[in-house]
Structure 1
Amino acid sequence: MKKSREIIPVFFTIDDDYAPLLGVALFSMLKNASKVYQYKVFVLYKELSELNREKLAGLADKNCEMQFFEMKDELNTITDRMSNRLRADYFTLTIYFRLFIPVLFPEYDKGIYLDSDIVVPGDISELYQTPLGENLLGAVIDPVVAALPELTRHAELCVGVERDKYFNSGVLLMNLKKLRETRIDQRFLELFNKYHFDCIAPDQDYLNAMCKGRVTYLPALWDAMPSDATEPLENPKLVHFNLFAKPWHYDNIQYEQYFWPYAEASGFLEEILAIKGAYTEQDRQSDNEHLDLLISRGNATGDGKVTFRTVFNEGKEARL
């Protein structure tokens, strides 16, 4: 009798705007993933057209099963306000979906969460096999926060996490069993509704604050992010086009050589080129303004306010 292969669950959270980018992420991930394993890809969404679901499902191969999961009422209490915005730019509920993965998928004890603005030239099964022990998450230190004094100030003064411990939440190896035991979904909503902390990276700040001390720090190759402050890593296993540095908006982006070959073969190239062609000088100016706002908010958050750091350090709340 043939032995069944181990299943590796991988979770993405998107809306229609990011469907073409998820196509590139999925295509690259499956092309380079070890065939020793079976992959189960879950796409959590709020709004995703039937056409986009069909196109994305068409990327699945014999080693991958894909399911689409519509998020409905779980996040009704979260509304648009500056501290809930991504990049100090726009509001999207999808960034919070990752916090509900443990309770929504109780059949899994471990899984991988990935943002959709990525490309995966490495073997994703190697990430999955990283041991977590009793830790809740595996993640990579965020080099942008570590490099910019204003964002470092926010991480240390407001979130209460040292610059060399503050991680990026776009690539997470999740100990789903332990996260369920902590009731992460309920604890998040309790903290959110009680304090409305001033955040500059909403889901990321909450995860860093709640999971402090229970994180396995992964090699930077698993979340290589473009940054003018650092030299590019050689042979990254996963590239994450974080913040504003996206090759579908700009030319000469660090690591763009990893993106375009997969974009061309993904079946979504036409849509991605249309996105780039439609990106105007006004959009680029808006990016610069929002980056400046993000940095200025890093200098301002926490002034005389209740913060993650004060709430946890003073014993008003317990970490996970």
Structure 2
Amino acid sequence: MMSMSELNTNMETNKEQLYMELYKKQSKLAWYASERASATLHKAWEKCYALALMAAPLPECEANINELFYARDKRIKRIFPESVNIAYACSEQFAPFCGVSVFSLIANSDKCKNYDILIMHAGNLSELNKKHLCALAAGKPNISIRIINCAQAYIVKECRLRSYFSAEVYFRCLLMTEFFAEYDRFVYLDSDTIINTDISALYNRNISGKSIAAVSDLCMQYLVNSGANLVLNGTLLSYKYYISRFLSLDNSSQYFNSGVMLMDTGKIRTEGLCSKVFAMLQSGDYYCFEQCVLNKVFKNSVERISQIWNVQDITNVYGNCNDHISENTLSHLKWCIPRYKIMHYIGPDKPWYKPDAESSRVFTAYAYGTVWFRTIIYASLADRAEEFLQHYHGRPG
């Protein structure tokens, strides 16, 4: 495997040539000048990714696609009588990172256990990425990967979306519906995670009769403790007021991160909480949409687990947090980082923007073992190229 120094040298040597190649290709994107497409970091990444695919296209793949279509009146069948069940939500632009996460999960799996992996998307996942995702299970009879097309899920059409959120944010809530009724338990994982242990240890955890096991969200703790504000429906609110008034939480440490969850979906369905979640998603306006709704609905049914299962390096987002995060929390985070079981790259500064950075070394090491590595490198170069940014709206050179 390429070392970090070798990777950095390779990128520095070739970046000028790559910048020019990527810049020439940007004018071929018909939608490149779209004002909407340049509105957010996520949209900016879409452009980098599209350019990278032109410069470094994915290899062809002969794997069979195992795809199912979500429908309210159907049920998905289990692959194994007993299995560790894992779910992801993924868009076309995040397919490389979902692939890296799944690759890391499989790399740390137990050959004596079965793993049923479901990857949900909103109908925008390319056939080639579907094949490469399914190919991660090739030659592994104890691992199943299926693609779930959720384009017709009512949640996609009826729930509110801000420009910087995509439909995929809601898909973790679909796991509670009758379509997945043959499954009583899931580990849900965001695509920006790296798994460094056998995920069955989390899946088989005793959660004391609670509906969800999750880790406290450190970003919310920072926002509340720093006195930060948000605008909701045109009204300026403090985060402290928001979690108290809108989510009925006593303090910020109660607010959990939904990017890594163990969900007792059988219990949730039995108690009829699925309909409550969807009603709130459709009727309310929340800061983090489904994450806030889940916090409100399950505030008394969450098993708090160690940060080691969802390491959120908040210092990469806010820098020095000493004044706004408790000393005990920061000390525990510092202890967890080198011992992480799941690394979660929260915030806008994702590892694929700077794959040669020290904080990205874990992600880059796993990415190197996948077909998406070269595409990720090209996309990160496109993001950093000064020439690329100067011509952000696609003006011809």
Specify the TM-score bucket, using the shorter chain as the normaliser: 0.7 to 0.9
> Which stretch shifts more, 45-54 or 174-183?
174-183
Partners of 2:289 and 2:385 lie apart in 1 by: 27
- Give the conservation status (yes or no) of the 8 Å contact 2:308–2:341: yes
> Which stretch shifts more, 152-161 or 235-244?
152-161
Deviations 1:106-152 (Å, cap 9, x if unpaired)? 11111111100111112211101111232110100011111233345
Query: What corresponds to 1:181 in structure 2?
Result: 270
1:74 matches 2:150: no
Partners of 2:91 and 2:216 lie apart in 1 by: 26
1:100 matches 2:204: no
Partners of 1:73 and 1:214 lie apart in 2 by: 26
Unaligned runs of 5+ in 2: 1-79, 229-238, 316-320, 322-329, 390-397
Distance 1:261 1:214, change over 3 A: same
1:65 matches 2:144: yes
Query: What corresponds to 2:25 in structure 1?
Result: none
- Give the conservation status (yes or no) of the 8 Å contact 1:13–1:45: yes
Question: Which one has a bigger Cα radius of gyration?
Answer: 2
Partners of 1:74 and 1:156 lie apart in 2 by: 30
Query: What corresponds to 1:114 in structure 2?
Result: 189
- Give the conservation status (yes or no) of the 8 Å contact 1:146–1:152: no
Query: What corresponds to 1:308 in structure 2?
Result: none
1:53 matches 2:134: no
Query: What corresponds to 1:316 in structure 2?
Result: none
| 1:172 CA drift (Å) | 0.7
Spell out the pairing of 1:93-172 with structure 2 (5 A cutoff): 93-103=167-177, 104-149=179-224, 150=228, 151-161=239-249, 162-172=251-261
Deviations 1:265-309 (Å, cap 9, x if unpaired)? 02210121122122247999xxxxxxxxxxxxxxxxxxxxxxxxx
- Give the conservation status (yes or no) of the 8 Å contact 2:211–2:301: yes
| 1:191 CA drift (Å) | 2.2
262, 269, 277: which one aligns with 2:373: 269
Partners of 1:281 and 1:155 lie apart in 2 by: 40
| 1:155 CA drift (Å) | 2.6
Partners of 2:89 and 2:135 lie apart in 1 by: 18
Partners of 1:73 and 1:141 lie apart in 2 by: 29
Give the TM-score of the pair, scaled to structure 2.
0.64
- SS of residue matched to 2:147: strand
Query: What corresponds to 1:318 in structure 2?
Result: none
Partners of 2:128 and 2:207 lie apart in 1 by: 38
Partners of 1:255 and 1:185 lie apart in 2 by: 38
Give the TM-score of the pair, scaled to structure 1.
0.79
Query: What corresponds to 2:117 in structure 1?
Result: 41
Distance 1:145 1:79, change over 3 A: closer
- SS of residue matched to 2:148: strand
Deviations 1:23-50 (Å, cap 9, x if unpaired)? 1000000101222310010111112111
Unaligned runs of 5+ in 1: 285-320
| 1:225 CA drift (Å) | 1.2
| 1:253 CA drift (Å) | 6.0
Partners of 1:175 and 1:254 lie apart in 2 by: 36
Distance 1:152 1:253, change over 3 A: farther
Partners of 2:378 and 2:270 lie apart in 1 by: 45
- SS of residue matched to 1:279: helix
| 1:212 CA drift (Å) | 0.8
> Which stretch shifts more, 184-193 or 12-21?
184-193
- SS of residue matched to 1:51: helix
- Give the conservation status (yes or no) of the 8 Å contact 1:11–1:111: yes
Q: Which amino acid aligns with 1:96?
A: Y
| 1:183 CA drift (Å) | 3.0
Q: Which amino acid aligns with 2:252?
A: R
